[in-house]
Amino acid sequence: MAYATGLTVLLSVASWRLCSPVLMIPAGITFLLTIFVFYFFRNPERTAPTDKAAVVAPCDGTVIVVERVPETPLKTEALKISIFMSVFNVHVNRAPFDGKVLDTFHHAGKFFDARDGRASCENERNGIIMEIAGGARIAFVQIAGLVARRIISYPLIGDKLIRSERYGLIRFGSRVDVYLPVATAPLVKLGDKTVAGETVLARIV
């Protein structure tokens, strides 16, 4: 953001001081890009639901997968819920549930469109496996997309996360997969819109 703002100011001052219509064009373009960057990195406050059993969406976006899958980061069958983020969504990611980080992992990979079925296992991704109350485990995986090339995740092994707290982000369009105990009943369906930290994906009982 600092680079975009600095370049905009530099070009704007130069076009004004030199009275140059030629410089006004790139100044206008960089101004619009700066506005977009500020819009993209917006970080609004969110309020978690009062239901302690509720699993919340880790990101804003659209639900693109709701299914039980045999192969997961949990090494067992699980309910998988995937959310696609466009470049217009808030990209700050939030913890879907309370728990302790048991493991983290990063896989270098490809950059298929995040809606592509291959993205979960072939794209660049960063995941967290977390133990929740009662000893059950869940996982949530940030996945790079066609445009997104930078995944940021802050938690370390042993950290305790609180549901709805910020834990990372993915820049410029991407996806987050959530893996829950197989008996968990989903409360969202394909095409539903989600709000990070607020939309209830399922309840763990």
pLDDT at 53: 95
Contact status, residue 125 vs residue 153, Cβ threshold 8 Å: no
Same domain, 36 and 105: no
Please state whether 11 falls in left (phi above 0), alpha (psi between -120 and 50) or beta: alpha
Question: Same domain for 77 and 34?
Answer: no
Domain contains 45: no
115 vs 8, residue with greater confidence: 115
Residue with tokens 């930078």: 150
pLDDT given at position 12: 46
Q: Domain count of the chain?
A: 2
Catalytic residues: 174
Answer yes or no: do 69 and 21 share one domain. no
pTM of the model as a whole? 0.81
Per-residue confidence (pLDDT) for residue 38, from 0 to 100: 52
* Predicted pLDDT at 35: 58
pLDDT of residue 116 exceeding 70, the answer is: yes
**What are 37-54's pLDDT values in tens digits?**
555 566 789 999 999 999
